[in-house]
Amino acid sequence: MKPDALIVIDVQQGLTDMHPYQEETVIGNIQKLIAACRKAGVPVIYVQHEETEAGGLVRDTPAWQVDSRIAPQDSDARFYKNVNSAFRGTGLHEHLQALGAHNLLLCGMQTEYCVDVSCKVAFELGYSVTLPRGGTTTYDNRLFKAQDLIKYYEYFIWAGRLAKTAPMDTLLSELGA
Q: Global pTM? A: 0.97
Tally the C-alpha atoms within 13 A of residue 65's C-alpha that lie toward its C-beta: 11
CATH topology of domain 5-174: Rossmann fold (3.40.50)
Q: Any idea where the domains of the chain sit in the sequence?
A: 5-174
CA distance 50 to 122: 20
Sign of the four-CA dihedral 69, 73, 77, 81: positive
Query: Judging by DSSP bridges, how do beta strands 103-109 and 128-133 pair with one another?
Result: parallel
C-beta contacts of 66-72 below 8 A and 24+ residues apart:
66/8, 66/11, 66/12, 66/13, 67/11, 67/12, 67/13, 67/16, 67/27, 68/13, 69/27, 69/31, 70/8, 70/11, 70/27, 70/30, 70/31, 70/34, 72/44, 72/46
* Angle CA 121–29–159, to nearest 5: 40
Q: Write out pLDDT tens, residues 117-150.
A: 999 999 999 999 999 999 999 999 999 999 999 9
**In which band, very low, low, confident or very high, does the pLDDT at 52 lie, cut at 50, 70 and 90?**
confident
pLDDT given for residue 79 in this prediction: 98
Model pLDDT for residues 66-102, shown as the tens digit of each residue = 999 999 999 999 999 999 999 999 999 999 999 999 9
CB 16 within 8 A of CB 66: no
How many residues can be counted in the chain?
177
